[in-house]
Structure 1
Amino acid sequence: MVHVTVEEIIRCTPEEFLEFVMDPERYATIDDKIGPIDWVRRTGDVTEFRFRSALPGIPGPAPKVVSQMRLTPGDRVDVRYAPLPHNRLSHRVSRFQASFVAEPVDGGTKVTRTIAIDFPPVIRWLLEPILRRTLPPDVEKEVHGAKTHLEGQQKE
């Protein structure tokens, strides 16, 4: 399993940060792992969207997946593959979980971004070494991009 956690203080409220995350079209502007988006559906605290995923360092055509994000207002967003019948292949090829935790602190919000990906043994030996090297800097870049984006909006 590849597990990455990145923390950053962002000058915004937890609600501002979490709403940014819950809008995949906006969030895709700072996250290279979100390729072209086919559709987005939000119902209350759940957003589902279909997109072409792109894991850093993994060559070849990226699969289209449906991601499901569940908001716990003012606290966190949990991300996973949408349940079947979506992602029939992805559910077989990997297990994916991610989260964004937003904790109010002096000067803004402490954001904790976590991604965990597990592969079956038949491909684990190939993909995990690549992701152990490429995913941590990619997630750091993503979180820094969120900081730059949200803090830049406050100046406008």
Structure 2
Amino acid sequence: MRNKQTITALYDNILPVLAKHLHQNLAEIVPLFHDFSLERVLDTWTRGTDLGATEQISIENGNIQLLGVRLKLEGFQRAGIAAFDLEKELLFKLHPYSYEVGPDKNKVWLEKTYEQPWDNLEYQSVSRQWCDELIETLTQKLESLT
């Protein structure tokens, strides 16, 4: 069930391990850019339909709807191509008894209950899909500039 403990477990335990897998898969992409950051994000703005108008959205209240990881790649460096930046998120959409993981609010790669632990194959699969999408976005951007 979504509550302070399960949200904290996702934020403090699952996201850092997933970020480590993502970072490993980015090893060949990061050097193409001047700077990069990979950070955890917590959406304290999206209000669920089950919340009162005045209830504060927070981990403490156990009513967060979205959390995840955001990648920022800044200053693509290649001779003859104008520098550009890329951003990509990996979102956890939190429901009352389960959550969905995907690159946006509408695409789902993995669905789990809060009690289900992650195994190494799930970390690898999600990070591989995410990096494949990032490479596709980068390729499309480069094709549009040449």
Q: Name the TM tier (shorter chain).
A: 0.3 to 0.5
User: What is the TM-score with the length of structure 2 in the denominator?
Assistant: 0.39
> Which of the two has higher C-alpha Rg?
2
The structure whose RCO (Cα within 8 Å, separation 6+) is larger is: 1
